Amino acid sequence: MLGCEAPRPCARSTRAAINDRPVIAGPQSEGRSSGMYVFLHDRTASRWWRRDSFLRASAFLFLPLYPLFPGQLHAAENVPSPPPRAFVDRSGELRVTNAMTLHVTADLGNVRIQTLPPGTPSVVRYTVHIETDAPNPAGQKLLDRYSLSTRETVDGVFLSGVVPNMGSPAASRHLPGRNAQFWVQFIVTVPATFNLEVSTGIGDIETSDIAGRVVLLTQGGSITAGRIGLPGAPPVRGDRLAAKIETQGGHITLKDVTGDVDAYTGGGHIQAGNIDGNAKLRTGGGHIRAARIKGTARLETDGGNIAVGEAGSFVGVRTAGGQIDFGEVHGSVHAETGGGGIRVMYVAGPMEVASSGGSICLTRVANRVRAETAEGTITAWISPDSPQKTRLVSLPGPSQLASRTGDIIVFLPRNIAMTIDATVETGGPSRVEADPSLPLNVQSQPDGPVHVLASLNGGGALLKLRTTAGKIQLQYLDAQTGLRQSLLDEQKQRLAEKLSDFPPTAVSFSAAPAPPTNAPPELSPNDAKEGWLDTAKKRIEVIFMGSIHEDNKDFVKRLTVHPPPEYPAFARKAGIQGRVVLQIRLKPDGTLNVDKVLEGEPALVEAATSAVQKWRAKPEQIAGKNVEVVSTMSFEFLLH
């Protein structure tokens, strides 16, 4: 028998029935193995595979090739069949007790862990399928050299597999002057109460629902885990993690976890269901999405998007350039992105969010907030918790919203006690728009800085608003309840679509939130776009200004009829040339008018204006209605 040792003192004796079934694999055996295909030459090559997991995971995957077109069928039939492969299945069974730990170690191969049906005797069953493309009889001799060993201790079962060293003298005798490929797959069945520690040099790992602690490591494959810590099972004791998951390049998928989680991938996505504990999720560039996290959450990606349906404590997230989406957070938030947008439905605690260029939308701010973006718009609905609507409310501390070039739009309750200090550095008094009933003290200079002070309901916590070149808009909450509700509904729908693979389950929070109307957050192709924020911004622009403003490059795409202006004859004779810049308005019926002349000689302005009035364009639609679009257009009149 292979892999059985004599009983050791203080250790359980091992009883294993191991079957070696060598078979010469004909064409029909091609489909029976789904293990990892790996090319091995010598131990130097093996060390190279360990250093470069990405190449190792992708460079030597072999799949059967089939003809792409019907006309190739006849030619394909004449292609000689690949030489038969030799394979061997090794299997065994070990008697165990519940709550032990299974240790699986392999230098390559996929590993799948299954659980025994309820009520069956506690055993560990394993089957290891190994194939090689080396021709027989050399192939069979190489399979005989595959090392598979088992060992059992008082609290654990050990299963180890090692591919033959192709650089050894014995392998060279069996297969002189030729390399070999190996295909390996482990299938292990254990009691559901087991702990798992699985490590493979290259290959995927998949597990069923497990009640115990889980450690899953692979150097290049993906990891898919079922529920960890089954309902009713005792929680992981002490400060040990319920799940530690690590891959150097594949994706990670987790269902519900009872306890703390630490997951890392060098570049794949991470998707988690409901985590009843703390979570540390990191990826070198993929997306991160989690339905619910009860404890503290620290999420980090070097470029992907981050989405969290619900969190019960502090959440710290960072992405080098992706978008950030939150549903409800019952603690505090620190969020940072290198360029994407940030959307937050509700945060109970203090919030600090920053983007290098994206927009920020906060649909309910109940605590102090600090939000900053370089170019995007900041939209915030400030609504502190209050048991009675008639009482005055206030934020518990000072807040600040700042955007270098974007607008700042703030909605306030009428019963808030607050002191407002707002500044627009350029543009003059037209850069501040507010509800007429707000008691504002405006200090401004034409086309210069604007400084606004206000003391609402006797004053309270300070709210600072700063923008260099954007606008500041102040409104009451009850003026746009429909807009806010529509944005909340859209955000809920976005999260429901993102996390549809993992509907929420019961996770107890210290302060139980109201049940969401939609299941929380999957990564969609639209994750890389800011369509939701753009739509929200356009709606707000229509409400405040009656139209939306659009960049010239985007506006010209709307034009369906746009004849060029004619050069006035008298201007040509007089040698008049130059540039004309117009602010134009696209009407809901598709016609265009000139709002303002920004630059140009009067003789040339008239020609450009006449041309614009003949143009036709496709208007913007918001909520099924055509709205006006404002942009600028330049015309160059040159004499040749």
User: Are residues 518 and 580 located together in one domain of the fold?
Assistant: no
| Structural domain ending residue among the three candidates 505, 520, 544 | 544
* Alpha helix stretches (DSSP H) within 287-399: none
Identify the pLDDT of residue 520.
30
Strands 306-311 and 288-293, by their bridges, are parallel
User: Are residues 595 and 459 located together in one domain of the fold?
Assistant: no
User: Are residues 536 and 633 located together in one domain of the fold?
Assistant: no
Identify the pLDDT of residue 10.
34
Q: Is the predicted pLDDT of residue 21 greater than 70, yes or no?
A: no
Task: Give the residue-averaged pLDDT of 545-560.
Answer: 79
- Confirm whether 385 is domain-assigned: yes
User: Are residues 33 and 180 located together in one domain of the fold?
Assistant: yes
Q: Is the predicted pLDDT of residue 552 greater than 70, yes or no?
A: yes
Residue 175 token pair: 């297969």
Contacts of 247 (CB under 8 A, 6+ apart): 217, 218, 219, 220, 221, 222, 223, 264, 265, 266, 268
203/186 Cα distance (integer angstroms): 10
91/54 Cα distance (integer angstroms): 31
User: Are residues 486 and 388 located together in one domain of the fold?
Assistant: yes
Evaluate whether 450 touches 408 at the Cβ level (below 8 Å): no
Residue 1 token pair: 């028998």
Residue 262: pLDDT band by 50, 70, 90 thresholds? very high
198/539 Cα distance (integer angstroms): 52
Contacts of 212 (CB under 8 A, 6+ apart): 99, 101, 193, 194, 195, 196, 229, 233
pTM: 0.69
- Confirm whether 228 is domain-assigned: no
| Better pLDDT: 249 or 28 | 249
Task: Give the residue-averaged pLDDT of 514-521.
Answer: 32
Determine the residue type at 513: P
Give buried/exposed letters for 385-424 (b at 16+ CB in 10 A, else e). eeeeeeebbbbeeebbbbbbebbbbbbbbebbbbbbebbb
Residue 332 token pair: 């505090």
Evaluate whether 282 touches 262 at the Cβ level (below 8 Å): no
- Confirm whether 253 is domain-assigned: no
Evaluate whether 629 touches 558 at the Cβ level (below 8 Å): yes
Helix (H) or strand (E) holding 221, with range, is none
- Confirm whether 199 is domain-assigned: no
CA distances from 42 to 45, 47, 181, 189, 221 (A): 5, 9, 12, 32, 22
| Better pLDDT: 65 or 210 | 210
Residue 397 token pair: 């501390």
Identify the pLDDT of residue 521.
32
Q: What is the pLDDT of residues 562-590, one digit of tens each?
A: 999 988 887 777 677 888 888 899 998 99
Helix (H) or strand (E) holding 478, with range, is none
Determine the residue type at 196: L
Identify the pLDDT of residue 194.
94
Helix, coil or strand: residue 433: strand
- Confirm whether 184 is domain-assigned: yes
Residue closest to 626 by CA, chosen among 506, 546, 519, 536 = 546
Q: Is the predicted pLDDT of residue 444 greater than 50, yes or no?
A: yes
User: Are residues 592 and 535 located together in one domain of the fold?
Assistant: no
| Structural domain ending residue among the three candidates 522, 544, 566 | 544
Q: Residue with structure tokens 């885990």?
A: 225
Identify the pLDDT of residue 192.
92
Helix, coil or strand: residue 29: helix
Identify the pLDDT of residue 369.
94
Determine the residue type at 466: R
User: Are residues 401 and 382 located together in one domain of the fold?
Assistant: yes
User: Are residues 557 and 433 located together in one domain of the fold?
Assistant: no
- Confirm whether 157 is domain-assigned: no
Q: What is the pLDDT of residues 290-328, one digit of tens each?
A: 999 999 999 999 888 899 989 999 999 999 888 898 888
Length of the chain equals 640
Phi, psi for 178 (deg, rounded to 5): -140, 145
The count of domains in the chain is 3
Lowest mean pLDDT among 293-302, 332-341, 542-551: 542-551
Helix, coil or strand: residue 170: helix
User: Are residues 452 and 367 located together in one domain of the fold?
Assistant: yes
Residue 492: pLDDT band by 50, 70, 90 thresholds? low
Residue closest to 566 by CA, chosen among 616, 633, 615, 637 = 637
Q: What is the pLDDT of residues 338-371, one digit of tens each?
A: 878 898 888 889 999 998 878 898 888 999 999 9
Q: Is the predicted pLDDT of residue 456 greater than 90, yes or no?
A: yes
- Confirm whether 418 is domain-assigned: yes
Task: Give the residue-averaged pLDDT of 234-261.
Answer: 83
Highest mean pLDDT of the ranges 231-235, 369-373, 547-551, 631-635: 369-373
258/209 Cα distance (integer angstroms): 12
As separate numbers, helices (DSSP H) first and strands (DSSP E) second, the chain gives 10, 44
Identify the pLDDT of residue 290.
93
CA distances from 635 to 128, 463, 608, 640 (A): 74, 44, 7, 16
User: Are residues 335 and 446 located together in one domain of the fold?
Assistant: yes
Identify the pLDDT of residue 519.
31
Identify the pLDDT of residue 320.
87
- Confirm whether 376 is domain-assigned: yes
Helix, coil or strand: residue 220: coil
Check which CATH number belongs to the domain holding 595 and give it. 3.30.2420.10
Domain span at 440? 318-544
Q: Is the predicted pLDDT of residue 2 greater than 80, yes or no?
A: no
Task: Give the residue-averaged pLDDT of 70-87.
Answer: 55
User: Are residues 425 and 570 located together in one domain of the fold?
Assistant: no
Q: What is the pLDDT of residues 119-176, one digit of tens each?
A: 899 999 999 999 988 888 888 888 888 999 999 999 999 999 998 876 666 555 655 5
- Average pLDDT of the residues of the chain: 77
User: Are residues 633 and 557 located together in one domain of the fold?
Assistant: yes
Determine the residue type at 311: A
Residue 381 token pair: 């609905």
Evaluate whether 132 touches 85 at the Cβ level (below 8 Å): yes
Q: What is the pLDDT of residues 375-398, one digit of tens each?
A: 888 989 898 877 666 689 999 999
**DSSP classification of residue 9:** T
